[in-house]
Structure 1
């Protein structure tokens, strides 16, 4: 009987063995696994790429959100800082770092809420106790009159400042007991007032004057004004027709029985036929030529239209004029002492055409105006021109005329020409330059309703001014009249900025 083999299978060469089948099947399976693996690998790569993209987008979003959150936090901290600096709460105000770089930068841009440097003004305690002294006698210049017609001017609509020649300009600085000079208000040249206003101002011996042109502000009511000052002073707000229309639309204007217009304590004085095409020049008329606009005035205090007076005007006259026996008072500039530093700041801030500012300063330097130094008798050549305090003597009035003539002939930046006129008159004008911190304590400063800007301020070259038609037609003509000397070799003195905000 044949034996059975255990665990063995008979093999048939004509049919494949199970192992061969298994092998083929395994091979086929390997082929399937290999092909499927390629698809899976591609899918994994695609998925990884998608994930990387998602991660990248997520990181970008995270960075952006973090940056926005950080910026919001910084802005919030800055807002709190500025708010604390202006807070009336003592604890919050104490948190303010008043010399911080942030406030200095914003201050330099004219955007700052940086607290003004204020100090207590040593004024008298009671306006009712102030004794008004006798008028200052006229000594050097005893009689002053004004040129109102230029013989060489054949224009039926003459220039407001006249056509002052270089020779007339030079002669006007030579002091005599009797003088006749250009001082605006040439015959039929504009800046007219109606008869109602002319009649009203004839009674005004003590004047607080201000002005708004081209609708940049509304009148701000003074505070802390005594009853005595309310009766003694005329509060006169000089406006043009555009500003009057703006004021009537934005505040209450009352009309008295005589037809005069009032905004609170301010009597509006409307000026018609503005003589200049540059609003800043028009604003210099009531500011500098106060004695010409209000010829009956003995004393005047000028404040810019954006200011709110907070000190009794009688106390101001006592502090800045009568106590020291001065006839003119103005504050020292916040940052600058030299007119060349002021001119440099005007150019950097684009407050007037750079080449024209340079030309005016070259004339002044050629004519002997040195940069300010401690050796000079006055604390600064540059004033804060927004507050002017005057007794209207012939010498003070002459100074105002000469100052206006410079503003009329050259750029309207009166802080440059102020120091030059003081330099030319020497010790003849007895005036007081008081500390800037006291100046800041006289008023509350409000922002303009809008900022003024003219195209000429951005001009970089003379050619640009000419080609673009930016040249003024009725002011600054001295900048376009051949100067009687060669200024091409004049180099302006180097300017060293004395303040990071200046």
Structure 2
């Protein structure tokens, strides 16, 4: 993934914000081969406004799961930061970061803002879409959802206190408060234990906190005024995404992650055989 240079950045934002791009070794080598990388006197590597940060000693063998470390645990990687704005590598920012803080946090006194998913509000519908689009092994997504259903997560409806249970995680705007940091750690725990699809676990953590975690979920349509989208070139990142049955995974253990998703292979204390997943309505061709 090539760094997309942001536009409309004010001089004040250049002074206040650290524009950091966290990459693995493969991505760093790709960037070096394709664009000029500038080195500063401290050994820092830069492409335009972005400073490249190498994520060494990656904890997982699944690229999507490794990407969740800087995305969700931003407060752990950069503990002195008061605010952070996460954007996916496929997004080109076209709005000044200070304006994002003003619009999504300061104006209405929020501390955590995330976009609503474009197609789904129901976690179980999003899980079904993930299976159809081969975002992870189908039987493991089903197992993940059965655990959440067993633990009481209801399908989203208009009577819930949140506008949706499914976020679009390509942008996260947050103040690093104690509660937001706790939420991020709990969210990452779910990504670590189960599937790396963070959209599936966001609503569950909100549910388990019982209304204590307050956040602003803004309409997905506002994306077009914040970013230019550059779609991923590589749609799939690992072989496990193609597995269709649990028998297939057991027959080919090389497909199974060795360091992530271990909660999917640990005996669950409840009887999941009795769990019936809610029916889903496929409301969008894209979803």
Which aligned pairs between 1:10-409 and structure 2 lie closer than 5 A? 217-409=1-193
Deviates most, 217-226 or 461-470:
461-470
Shift of the alpha carbon at 1:496?
A: 1.2
C-alpha distance after superposition, 1:20-57 (max 9, x if no partner): xxxxxxxxxxxxxxxxxxxxxxxxxxxxxxxxxxxxxx
> Where does residue 473 of structure 1 map in the other structure?
258
Shift of the alpha carbon at 1:498?
A: 2.5
SS in 1 for 2:19: strand
CA distance in 1, matches of 2:245, 2:265: 13
C-alpha distance after superposition, 1:64-86 (max 9, x if no partner): xxxxxxxxxxxxxxxxxxxxxxx
CA distance in 1, matches of 2:27, 2:134: 25
> Where does residue 460 of structure 1 map in the other structure?
244
CA distance in 2, matches of 1:373, 1:428: 19
SS in 2 for 1:275: coil
C-alpha distance after superposition, 1:402-427 (max 9, x if no partner): 00000000000110000100111122
Q: TM-score scaled by structure 2?
A: 0.98
Equivalent position to 1:429, from 213, 219, 222: 213
**Considering only CA atoms, is the larger Rg found in Structure 1 or Structure 2?**
1
CA distance in 2, matches of 1:353, 1:241: 26
> Where does residue 272 of structure 2 map in the other structure?
487
Is the Cα–Cα contact under 8 Å of residues 24 and 54 in structure 2 kept in the other structure?
Answer: yes
CA distance in 1, matches of 2:234, 2:248: 26
C-alpha distance after superposition, 1:135-194 (max 9, x if no partner): xxxxxxxxxxxxxxxxxxxxxxxxxxxxxxxxxxxxxxxxxxxxxxxxxxxxxxxxxxxx
C-alpha distance after superposition, 1:194-239 (max 9, x if no partner): xxxxxxxxxxxxxxxxxxxxxxx01000000001101110001111
CA distance in 1, matches of 2:226, 2:210: 28
- Flag the 1:444–1:354 CA change in 2: closer, same or farther, 3 A: same
SS in 1 for 2:119: coil
In the alignment, structure 2 segments of 5+ residues that lack a partner are none
Shift of the alpha carbon at 1:471?
A: 1.1
Shift of the alpha carbon at 1:267?
A: 0.8
Is the Cα–Cα contact under 8 Å of residues 135 and 236 in structure 2 kept in the other structure?
Answer: no
Q: CA RMSD in A?
A: 0.9
Is the Cα–Cα contact under 8 Å of residues 63 and 237 in structure 2 kept in the other structure?
Answer: no
Equivalent position to 1:410, from 191, 194, 219: 194
CA distance in 2, matches of 1:265, 1:342: 35
Matched residue pairs, number? 286
SS in 1 for 2:100: helix
CA distance in 2, matches of 1:385, 1:476: 20
2:230 is aligned with 1:446: yes
SS in 1 for 2:212: coil
CA distance in 1, matches of 2:57, 2:91: 26
CA distance in 2, matches of 1:270, 1:412: 21
CA distance in 1, matches of 2:274, 2:233: 44
SS in 2 for 1:334: coil
Shift of the alpha carbon at 1:307?
A: 0.9
Shift of the alpha carbon at 1:457?
A: 0.9
CA distance in 2, matches of 1:318, 1:229: 13
Is the Cα–Cα contact under 8 Å of residues 194 and 261 in structure 2 kept in the other structure?
Answer: yes
CA distance in 2, matches of 1:440, 1:376: 27
Shift of the alpha carbon at 1:429?
A: 1.3
> Where does residue 202 of structure 1 map in the other structure?
none
Shift of the alpha carbon at 1:258?
A: 1.1
C-alpha distance after superposition, 1:93-117 (max 9, x if no partner): xxxxxxxxxxxxxxxxxxxxxxxxx
CA distance in 2, matches of 1:293, 1:360: 28
Q: TM-score scaled by structure 1?
A: 0.56
CA distance in 2, matches of 1:263, 1:448: 19
CA distance in 1, matches of 2:54, 2:135: 27
Shift of the alpha carbon at 1:400?
A: 0.3
CA distance in 2, matches of 1:436, 1:493: 25
> Where does residue 190 of structure 1 map in the other structure?
none
